[in-house]
Amino acid sequence: MSPVGSHPFLCDIHDMMILAEQVRTGNIRAVSRLISLLENHPGGREALRLLNSTSRETRIIGVTGYPGAGKSTVVNRLVSCYRRKGLKVGVLAVDISSSITGGALLGDRIRMQEHALDHGVYIRSMATRGHHGGLAQATGDAAFVLEAAGYEVILIETIGVGQNEGDIDDVARIVVAVVAPGLGDEVQAMKAGLLEVAHIVVVNKGDLPDADNTLRDLREWCPNVLRTVATTGEGIPELAAAITAYQQPHAVGPVGEARNC
């Protein structure tokens, strides 16, 4: 029986090998199952080795920023953009778990549901489960799984934070920080947080009145500041171009390379 059928447990190396093989062929249920295994069980990482991933030309793009700045909407637009280029896209969207109950309400996906019927897009919501740093413990590994499954672009949305999102820097080769207009004095504080990890800064909600001021303020500090209106898609092609210009495609590191592994 195949590991992704109704088989309840993955307990031996043989099952793992089948699962790894299925992931390599791009089987979605297998990808999903393996990511769960990585989330739920430390032993799951055994399977990563079996994936035998040869370095592919995968781009891993981190998207971070304050809560509600428009990260998910930007990610949704970037997905469309890469799909038009015919690339397979994986999305890992991280939200925070309640420190008291361990539960979580994962809502980033709502913004991306238009891609739910596209077989070239895989979207996975992950809860932090007590892990600090802006991602879940298993996010880096999940990116590795997606790479092995043939996804050519992987977008990772961090939890909505302004600081301590150091993880994304380790997992993604390029980090886009999304902010909304009206930051005011926060620009100063951002220098030691968001702006430190970001390679590209996006002032989203460019349709709001205060956008020009925010753009101006930020341009004093960083070279790469763009304006987008994610709700309409304005500025997204430019963002995609900036991402491409910033870095040539890069392979994801081998298992264990990411800081939190």
Partner 1 sequence: MQERKPRFTSLSGFDTNRVYTHNDLKDWSPDEELGAPGQFPYTRGVYPTMYRGRLWTMRQFAGFGSAEDTNRRFKYLLQHGQNGLSVAFDMPTLMGVDADAPLAHGEIGHCGVSISSLDDMERLFDGIPFEQVTTSMTINGPAAVIFAMYLAVAEKRGIRPERLDGTLQNDILKEYIAQKEWLYPPEPSLRLIADTIAYCSEHVPKWHPISVSGYHIREAGSTAVQELAFTLYDGLTYVEAAVKAGLSVDRFAPQLSFFFNAHNDLFEEIAKFRAARRLWAREMTRRYRPVDPRSVQLRCHAQTAGCTLTAQQPMNNVVRTTIQALAAVLGGAQSLHTNSMDETLALPTEDAVKLALRTQQIIAQESEVTNSVDPLGGSYYVETLTNRLEEAALDYFHRLDDMGGMVRAIEQGFPQREILNSSQRYLRESERKERIIVGVNEYVEPVERPIPILKIGLEVEHEQVARLSDLRKCRDSFKMAGAVEALQEAASCGENVMPYLIDAVKAKATLGEICMALKEVFGTYREPVVL
Partner 2 sequence: MTVASAPLRILIGKVGLDGHDRGVKLIARALRDAGVEVIYTGLHQTPEQVVNAAIQEDVDAIGLSILSGAHNTLFRRVLELLKEQDAEDIALFGGGIIPDEDVATLTADGVKALFKPGAPIQEIVTFVKGLKPHG
Ligand X SMILES: Nc1nc2c(ncn2[C@@H]2O[C@H](COP(=O)(O)OP(=O)(O)OP(=O)(O)O)[C@@H](O)[C@H]2O)c(=O)[nH]1
Binding site for partner 1 (CB under 8 A): 68, 72-73, 105, 107-108, 110-111, 231-232
Q: Which does 60 bind (CB under 5 to 8 A by kind): partner 2, ligand X, Mg ion, none?
A: none
Q: Is 259 helix (H, G, I), strand (E, B) or coil?
A: coil
Q: Which does 230 bind (CB under 5 to 8 A by kind): Mg ion, partner 1, partner 2, none?
A: none
Q: Which does 229 bind (CB under 5 to 8 A by kind): ligand X, partner 1, partner 2, none?
A: ligand X
Of the candidates 3, 44, 62, 70, which one interacts with ligand X according to CB under 6 A? 70
Among candidates 237, 185, 182, which has minimal Cα distance to 214? Answer: 182
- 72 or 204: CB nearest Mg ion: 72
Cα 112 from chain centroid (whole Å):
13
CB within 8 A of 115, min separation 6: which ones?
76, 79, 80, 83, 121, 123
Element (H, E) at 199: none
Q: How far is the CB of 211 from partner 2 (least distance, A)?
A: 27
The residue whose two tokens read 């195949």 is: 2
**Buried b / exposed e along 164-183 (16+ C-beta atoms within 10 A):** ebbbbbbbbbbbbbbbbbeb
The answer to the question of residue 108 lying near Mg ion (CB under 5 A) is yes
Q: In what order do the strands lie in the sheet with 174-179?
A: 121-127, 89-95, 153-157, 59-65, 174-179, 200-203, 225-227
Of the candidates 27, 58, 72, 137, which one interacts with Mg ion according to CB under 5 A? 72
- 61 or 229: CB nearest ligand X: 229
Q: Which residues pair with 95 in a beta bridge?
A: 127
CA distance 254 to 215: 38
Per-residue contact flags (x/-) with ligand X for residues 100 to 139, judged by CB under 6 A: --------x--x----------------------------
Q: Which does 249 bind (CB under 5 to 8 A by kind): Mg ion, partner 2, partner 1, none?
A: none
Interactions with partner 2, residue window 80-109 (CB under 8 A): 97-98, 101-107, 109
- What's 57's DSSP letter? -
Contacts with ligand X, residue ranges (CB under 6 A): 65, 67-73, 108, 111, 160, 204-205, 207-208, 229-231
What are the residues binding partner 2 (CB under 8 A)?
Answer: 4-11, 28-29, 32-33, 35-37, 39-41, 43-44, 97-98, 101-107, 109-110, 113, 116-117, 122-125, 127, 129
